[in-house]
Amino acid sequence: MQASGQDTILDCLLNIKRTMDPTLAFRYSCGHGMCGSDAVSINGTPALLCTATVEQWAIQPQKPQENAFRRTGVRTDDIEAALESASSPSDPSKTPVSQSGDSSASSAPSSDQGDWGVISLSALPGFPVQRDLIADIDSMLEQIIKLKPYLQADGVLATTDEGKVDVFEYLQRPDQLAKYEVLSNCIACGVCEGSCPVFAGGDAFIGPAALVNASRFINDSRDRATDARMDAIDTADGIAACQSVRACSRQCPKGIDVGEEIWQLIAQVRER
């Protein structure tokens, strides 16, 4: 298969699916970093398929031990051995393309100048694998939903004396908006959860994505449920479970410094 350095890994997978293996399963929707549906592990690092390019990940692959957390039981030399053997064309049992039912896939695109190298893919860590590159992220979405990720403000959907929906505007200063604006960019992709060694260790920890969404509304001057929101995360499985490893900050596709935001959230909850 031919690929250019600017091709995304999603482009490569679509090409593989069309021309080589129609059974290969992966999830995507918008194709340009907006929906968050295509988070997987690329060379051991959680990232989005649609924004990761071949030259980023194949020419200068980020080694798992330098840039990502590994789940307990996965040794670095095991990963490197798998990368090496997948790149060997002489052994047909080590094909670079995933087979149906596998939870991992590798693509070895080539350019006119020669091989790009190997890109190793697997489903997003920390979640059960549904099939191939598709992880079941329901546990993350349920944790986010539990924290009521919507504005709870006085007067929302108020009606007038005539029974009509009241129309009014919320006034907010730029400095008030700045307190949560970046957090509202979260697309619930799960990259931070896949990077978090605490979340990967069990189902109980509420997880960085849910905490980012809680913080988004706690810091919104219009919201009136701050105390209830803080109570909901002030638990053993909430902020108390965060170990401040900050791996969650490394690959957020929306540029949110997740670890720092959680650190500030913990301070807000403790100081109230």
From 18-26, 27-35, 84-92, 119-127, span contacting ligand FES (CB under 6 A) = 27-35
Say which entry of ligand FES, ligand SF4, none residue 28 contacts (CB below 5 to 8 A, set by partner kind). ligand FES
| 30 in contact with ligand FES (CB under 6 A) | yes
| 230 in contact with ligand SF4 (CB under 6 A) | no
| 40 in contact with ligand SF4 (CB under 6 A) | no
Nearest distance in Å: CB 37, ligand FES: 5
Say which entry of ligand SF4, ligand FES, none residue 68 contacts (CB below 5 to 8 A, set by partner kind). none
Q: How far apart are CA 62 and CA 267, in angstroms?
A: 33
DSSP letters, 35-95, are S-TTEEEETTEEEETTT-BHIIIIISPPPHHHHS---TT--HHHHHHHHHHHH-TT-GGG-
Picking from 105, 107, 101, the residue whose alpha carbon sits closest to that of residue 87 is 107
From 25-33, 73-81, 133-141, 201-209, span contacting ligand FES (CB under 6 A) = 25-33
**Angle at CA of residue 134, ends 12 and 258, nearest 5°:** 95
Q: Which amino acid is at 208?
A: P
Residues 50-89 that bind ligand FES (CB under 6 A): 50
Q: How far apart are CA 227 and CA 223, in angstroms?
A: 10
Q: Footprint of ligand SF4 on this chain (CB under 6 A)?
A: 36, 186-192, 208-209, 212, 252-254, 256, 258
